[in-house]
Structure 1
Amino acid sequence: MRDEYRGWERHSDLLFGALPYLLLGLSLLLAVTDSPLGVWRREHVVTIVWAGVAAVWTAATFTVPTRGHYRMARGHPLTIIYFIGLLALAAVLLSRDDVFVLFTATAFLQALVLLSTSWAFLCVFCASFVVNTVPDGFPEPTIPAWTGYAGAIVVQTVVVGWINLLFSKLDALSLQRKQTVSELRTALAENEGLHAQLIAQAREAGVHDERRRLAVEIHDTLAQGLAGIIRQLEAVGAEDERVRPDVEWRRHITTAHELARESLAEARRSVQALRPEQLEGSTLPGALATIARKWSDEHALPAGFATNGTVRPLHADLEATLFRVAQEALANITKHARAGKVGITLSYMEEMAVLDVIDDGVGFDPPAAEAVAGIRDGNGLGLVGMRARLERVAGTLEVESAPGEGTAISACVPFEAQHMEFGKAGP
């Protein structure tokens, strides 16, 4: 649309800039061909000379200074001089042949585009005076003749002037709208840049938060567990079976084994939280279809999966987030919902990907559940964890549920997020 408008504007400039020459050439052609075929008169040579002067004047005071762009002529110092010379030359040519009224019409067509309103109406008045006076002179000294003469000038000035003024205002309004659209596009581009920057900052902050969380969790679980194992083994080495009974020695060994098993389980849990294994060799729709089928087989309940829209690859962090949300939602259904059937839908929209998990279970009160979400694996139903995962990738979570009415969970992630420079750490 913008290229089409620019093309129209270029053609409009070309036509308006060529208008004086077209009307002058047409008038001259009609003037020199009004004689019988083969007859050439001296008056034609004089007319051609004056037409050449008019063409040179137009080029020197209008075409060259504006470089062919007539909008530049508005307010140009040479514009008034151009119109004075145009009307003078039009009067000379009109005195030689009436057909040069076509060339004089140039003043009517250009006045209100190139001149301010007051000067434009004055120019239209002068052009009307030339058209109605030069060919036949002043009217007879009678009231009817002068009334008709003056009326013609006034009507032409008002009608032609207001028509030209209307088109001039419409043209100015079009230019103003074009400028407004350009400013809006610039503002929109700036807003998109700011939006992308905010997403990048949110993502970076989420990565740092996740790293800190993992560091604290490793310190509180793996590090402490390994430290406990070391202490138990050191205690074993320090024991003397001749001093301590055998049962004390074995107690240290058993404790060390238990701590090792717990630390190993915590290590596996932390690794699994980084990247779902199911996504390593599969697409997100394929992985979701697989866990839906496995969940259905394990619990002997129907669990359908479907995709909407054109499937497109997402950033690994976005796919991992949606996959973990689906896993958590299915785990919640297993623990709390007592559902008869489950449906999972992955929708690819214009600006985001949306994961919906719906069940027909007993439902719950979401605000109340999130209010007590501090209890691990308790009434929080994993909603806080899901919401935190999504916020780290600039996503959102919506939960619709009520006691006895089932539950619908909707997780949205924006496609803009995948254009950011993500860190390697993920949820």
Structure 2
Amino acid sequence: MTEEREDDHAWHVDRAWGTYFTGSTAVIAVIAVMTGDGWRGWVTAALLGGVVVWYLLLGRRLLRPQEFHGSPRTIPFLAGLVALMVPALVLTPTATFAMFSVSPLVFMTGGAWLGTATAAALLFGPILFRLVSGSLPWKAAAPELLIFLVILFFSLWFARWFERVIVQSHERADLIAALRTSREESTRLSEEAGALAERERLARELHDTLAQGLTSIIALSQAVESELDTDPDLARRHLALMRETATENLAEARAIVAARQPVQLENETLEAALSRLTERFGRESGVTARLSVNGDPVFLPGAHQVCLLRTAQEALANVRRHARAGRVGVTLGFAPESVELSVTDDGRGFTPLPDSRGHGLPGMRARAEALGGRVHVASAPGTGTTVRLLLPLDPEPGDPAAPAAPDSACERRAVP
């Protein structure tokens, strides 16, 4: 798009300059015929017409490409221009008005140095011819020559200054083009980074909700298969849990699509949601599970509540899949400047690795780090496992995040 705009601008400039140059030169040629002395006027008009043709044949092509500006490739055009203009200036004084259009063309194609040299030829050529032919005495030519020298020096200074302006303008245009390209690249990378972050967020949400729910349904269905003949009542309770889990996962899927907070936190407190989560885990797995709430509860931002709930879900899911535990304790602790969640089991344990594979622990750590917190896993073979999440709080006086009076749901210290 930038190149198209530059080409369109160059085309308009070329068209405007060509109209001015050919039009003004043609008018001066007509005036030369009307005011000239017989054949001199007609010859002058023919020479000016040759200047126009010479410009159309060669000059236009030299104006547009910047690499031709001031290069030796412009010398033939400038020499032809001098060969046509000097005789016209000698024959008819009226042709001098053509210098108003020829002089800019000389500097536009030849640059400062070649342009000044060409202008010198156009200024001094006619007067030297008159001096040599004897039609102009040296004393009368001296003031004119001095004026021409002043004009040439001024023209050279002005052309050099103007060239610097043009160079700076092109450099500025290159910088603007580079900035525009950099901005477009930055926008593209930002969009890609945003899309990647959104994919990672969705992956964590799906792993912490739907994947865990489906795992629970599979485990319950396997239990039902073995209980249908031996314990129909227990099989029916497990079927009810399967239906409840499937219903909640469907609601979670709709919440993810609508970008809402977890279903468990929409109509109940974080403590109640953790209590229900712990109790359901115990019913599904047959493991004794208890929730404890310590400290003076505070109002937590939505992001903190989601992080705590998802971390508890993932930690309990890992206990179900790997720990073979008999007891699990979930503890939510409030401090003036932080909130802590720990999930402890008495299972077989494992040796934590610095770089965990999968989505569970990396997902928990990513959630915690996004809020300035951290996740620590303490475990060893045969000693059980403790997953501890610590999130900092920074309440200000009068801020909604300041400690609030505990309600009846938060006053309990042990919830079965």
TM, length-normalised to structure 2? 0.58
In the aligned structure 1, how far is the partner of 2:248 from the partner of 2:16?
A: 75
User: Residue in 2 aligned with 1:405?
Assistant: 398
Q: Residue 381 and residue 114 in structure 1: after superposition, are their counterparts in 2 closer, same or farther (change >3 A)?
A: farther
| Amino acid in structure 1 at the alignment position of 2:58 | T
User: Residue in 1 aligned with 2:27?
Assistant: 26
Query: Aligned pair 1:60/2:57, yes or no?
Result: yes
Q: Residue 29 and residue 253 in structure 1: after superposition, are their counterparts in 2 closer, same or farther (change >3 A)?
A: same
In the aligned structure 2, how far is the partner of 1:273 from the partner of 1:366?
A: 16
TM-aligned CA deviation for residue 94 of structure 1: 0.8
Higher relative contact order (CA 8 A, sep 6+): 1
Instruction: Give the alignment's Cα RMSD to 1 decimal.
Output: 4.6
TM-aligned CA deviation for residue 110 of structure 1: 2.4
Q: Residue 334 and residue 131 in structure 1: after superposition, are their counterparts in 2 closer, same or farther (change >3 A)?
A: farther
C-alpha deviations, 1:366-418, integer Å up to 9, x for none?
A: 99989977456945699xx9xx79x99xxx8899861663447xxxxxxxxxx
C-alpha deviations, 1:132-189, integer Å up to 9, x for none?
A: 55577797555x963x344312211122233333334333433333333333333333
Identify the match of residue 265 of structure 1 among 226, 244, 248. Answer: 244
Q: Residue 364 and residue 206 in structure 1: after superposition, are their counterparts in 2 closer, same or farther (change >3 A)?
A: closer
- Given that 2:44 and 2:95 are in contact with CA atoms closer than 8 Å, whether structure 1 keeps it comes out as no
User: Residue in 1 aligned with 2:47?
Assistant: 50
Query: What SS is found at the alignment partner of 1:324?
Result: coil
Query: What SS is found at the alignment partner of 1:182?
Result: helix
- Given that 2:261 and 2:306 are in contact with CA atoms closer than 8 Å, whether structure 1 keeps it comes out as no
In the aligned structure 1, how far is the partner of 2:397 from the partner of 2:236?
A: 46
Mark the runs of 5 or more structure 2 residues left unpaired by the alignment: 274-296, 314-329, 334-338, 342-359, 373-391, 402-416
User: Residue in 2 aligned with 1:298?
Assistant: none
- Given that 1:27 and 1:100 are in contact with CA atoms closer than 8 Å, whether structure 2 keeps it comes out as yes
TM, length-normalised to structure 1? 0.57
User: Residue in 2 aligned with 1:14?
Assistant: 15
| Amino acid in structure 2 at the alignment position of 1:158 | F
Query: Aligned pair 1:275/2:254, yes or no?
Result: yes
User: Residue in 2 aligned with 1:416?
Assistant: none
Match runs of 1:114-125 below 5 Å: 114-125=109-120
Q: Residue 126 and residue 269 in structure 1: after superposition, are their counterparts in 2 closer, same or farther (change >3 A)?
A: same
Q: Residue 25 and residue 219 in structure 1: after superposition, are their counterparts in 2 closer, same or farther (change >3 A)?
A: closer
Identify the match of residue 261 of structure 2 among 324, 331, 334. Answer: 324
Q: Residue 335 and residue 13 in structure 1: after superposition, are their counterparts in 2 closer, same or farther (change >3 A)?
A: farther
In the aligned structure 1, how far is the partner of 2:264 from the partner of 2:220?
A: 28
Q: Residue 222 and residue 403 in structure 1: after superposition, are their counterparts in 2 closer, same or farther (change >3 A)?
A: farther
Query: What SS is found at the alignment partner of 2:254?
Result: coil
C-alpha deviations, 1:94-140, integer Å up to 9, x for none?
A: 11111211223444312332224332332233333246555777975
In the aligned structure 1, how far is the partner of 2:129 from the partner of 2:393?
A: 86
Q: Residue 210 and residue 52 in structure 1: after superposition, are their counterparts in 2 closer, same or farther (change >3 A)?
A: same
- Given that 2:25 and 2:48 are in contact with CA atoms closer than 8 Å, whether structure 1 keeps it comes out as yes
Query: What SS is found at the alignment partner of 1:234?
Result: coil
In the aligned structure 2, how far is the partner of 1:403 from the partner of 1:28?
A: 86
Fraction of identical pairs, as percent: 15
- Given that 1:111 and 1:120 are in contact with CA atoms closer than 8 Å, whether structure 2 keeps it comes out as yes
User: Residue in 2 aligned with 1:339?
Assistant: none
In the aligned structure 2, how far is the partner of 1:136 from the partner of 1:100?
A: 19
- Given that 1:363 and 1:405 are in contact with CA atoms closer than 8 Å, whether structure 2 keeps it comes out as no
User: Residue in 2 aligned with 1:164?
Assistant: 159
| Amino acid in structure 1 at the alignment position of 2:105 | Q
Q: Residue 216 and residue 256 in structure 1: after superposition, are their counterparts in 2 closer, same or farther (change >3 A)?
A: same
Query: What SS is found at the alignment partner of 1:273?
Result: helix
In the aligned structure 2, how far is the partner of 1:370 from the partner of 1:231?
A: 36
TM-aligned CA deviation for residue 87 of structure 1: 1.7
TM-aligned CA deviation for residue 14 of structure 1: 1.7
Match runs of 1:237-252 below 5 Å: 252=231
C-alpha deviations, 1:58-98, integer Å up to 9, x for none?
A: 333323x44x7475742565521111121222110011111
In the aligned structure 1, how far is the partner of 2:172 from the partner of 2:298?
A: 57
Match runs of 1:12-411 below 5 Å: 12-34=13-35, 41-63=38-60, 65-66=61-62, 69=64, 71=66, 73-74=68-69, 78-130=73-125, 133=128, 140-141=137-138, 146=142, 148-214=143-209, 216-218=211-213, 220-235=215-230, 252-276=231-255, 317=257, 320-321=258-259, 323-324=260-261, 328=265, 331-332=268-269, 363=299, 374-375=311-312, 378=332, 402=395, 405-407=398-400
Q: Residue 132 and residue 183 in structure 1: after superposition, are their counterparts in 2 closer, same or farther (change >3 A)?
A: farther
C-alpha deviations, 1:14-39, integer Å up to 9, x for none?
A: 2333454334223212222227xxxx
Mark the runs of 5 or more structure 1 residues left unpaired by the alignment: 236-251, 277-315, 337-360, 409-427
TM-aligned CA deviation for residue 329 of structure 1: 6.9
- Given that 1:27 and 1:99 are in contact with CA atoms closer than 8 Å, whether structure 2 keeps it comes out as yes
